[in-house]
Amino acid sequence: MKTLNLHCDYIKFKALKKAIKSIDELAPNQNLEAESKECLVVLIAVEKTDNKSTIPKIVDDIKKITNEIKTKNIVLYPYAHLSSNLSSPETAIQILQTTKSELQKANCDVVLAPFGYYKTFELKVKGHPLSELSREFTNNKITDDELTDEQRERILKEISKSTLDTSKLKENDHRIIGRKMNLWSFNSVAPGMVFWHSKGLHIKNKLIELWREIHRTEGYEEISTPQIMDRKLWEISGHWSKYGENNFRTIYEKRDFLVKPMNCPGGMLIYKTSPKSYKDLPLRIGELGVVHRVELSGVLAGLFRVIQFTQDDAHIFCTENQLEQEVAKIVKIIQQIFSLFNLKFDHVELSTRPEKRIGSDKIWDATEKSLEKILKKLKLKYSINKGDGAFYGPKIDFHLKDSLNRTWQCSTIQLDMALPERFNLTYSDEKRNDKTPIMLHRVVFGSLERFIGIITEHLDGNFPLWLSPNQIKIMTLNDDVKDYANKIFQKLFNDGFQVELNDKNESMGKKAREAQIQKFNYLLTVGEKEKSENKVAVRKRNSKEITTTTLDEFITHLKKEISSKTL
Kindly give, in sequence order, each residue whose CB lies less than 8 Å from that of residue 119, ignoring residues fewer than 6 positions away: 13, 14, 15, 16, 113
Task: Compare residues 8 and 318 and give the one whose CB is closer to Zn ion.
Answer: 318
Please report how close the Cβ of residue 159 comes to Zn ion at its closest, in angstroms.
Answer: 35
Please report how close the Cβ of residue 413 comes to Zn ion at its closest, in angstroms.
Answer: 11
Residues making contact with Zn ion (CB under 5 A) = 264, 441
Angle at 451 between CA 167 and CA 210, to 5 degrees: 140
Is it true that the peptide bond before 437 is cis, omega within 30 degrees of 0? no
d(CA 295, CA 289) in angstroms, rounded, equals 18
Kindly give, in sequence order, each residue whose CB lies less than 8 Å from that of residue 120, ignoring residues fewer than 6 positions away: 13, 14, 16
Nearest to 512 by CA among 547, 540, 533: 540
**How large is the greatest C-alpha to C-alpha distance in the chain, in angstroms?**
99
Please report how close the Cβ of residue 286 comes to Zn ion at its closest, in angstroms.
Answer: 11
Q: Which residues pair with 510 in a beta bridge?
A: none
Please report how close the Cβ of residue 440 comes to Zn ion at its closest, in angstroms.
Answer: 9
The backbone region for 59, taken as left when phi is positive above 0, alpha when psi lies in -120 to 50, beta otherwise, is: alpha
Whether residue 316 contacts residue 335, with contact meaning beta carbons closer than 8 Å, is answered with no
Nearest to 267 by CA among 419, 445, 447: 419
Nearest to 421 by CA among 249, 297, 236: 236
Q: E strands within 83-194? A: 109-112, 117-125, 132-136, 184-185
Task: Compare residues 215 and 541 and give the one whose CB is closer to Zn ion.
Answer: 215
Task: Compare residues 225 and 403 and give the one whose CB is closer to Zn ion.
Answer: 225
The CB-based long-range contact list for 337-344 (8 Å cut-off, 24+ gap) reads 337/210, 337/211, 337/214, 337/444, 337/445, 338/400, 340/210, 340/464, 340/565, 340/567, 341/455, 341/458, 341/459, 341/567, 342/403, 342/567, 343/400, 343/401, 343/402, 343/454, 343/455, 343/458, 344/400, 344/401
Nearest to 531 by CA among 497, 491, 475, 483: 483
Please report how close the Cβ of residue 256 comes to Zn ion at its closest, in angstroms.
Answer: 22
Task: Compare residues 311 and 476 and give the one whose CB is closer to Zn ion.
Answer: 311
Task: Compare residues 441 and 541 and give the one whose CB is closer to Zn ion.
Answer: 441
Please report how close the Cβ of residue 333 comes to Zn ion at its closest, in angstroms.
Answer: 16
Give the active site residues.
264, 293, 311, 313, 315, 395, 441
d(CA 164, CA 301) in angstroms, rounded, equals 10
Please report how close the Cβ of residue 312 comes to Zn ion at its closest, in angstroms.
Answer: 11
Please report how close the Cβ of residue 313 comes to Zn ion at its closest, in angstroms.
Answer: 6
Crossing angle of helices 448-458 and 198-217, rounded to 10°: 110
Task: Compare residues 441 and 519 and give the one whose CB is closer to Zn ion.
Answer: 441
Helices (H), 70-167: 89-105, 149-160
Please report how close the Cβ of residue 539 comes to Zn ion at its closest, in angstroms.
Answer: 47
Task: Compare residues 293 and 557 and give the one whose CB is closer to Zn ion.
Answer: 293
Task: Compare residues 228 and 517 and give the one whose CB is closer to Zn ion.
Answer: 228
Whether residue 432 contacts residue 404, with contact meaning beta carbons closer than 8 Å, is answered with no
Cα-only R_g, the chain: 33
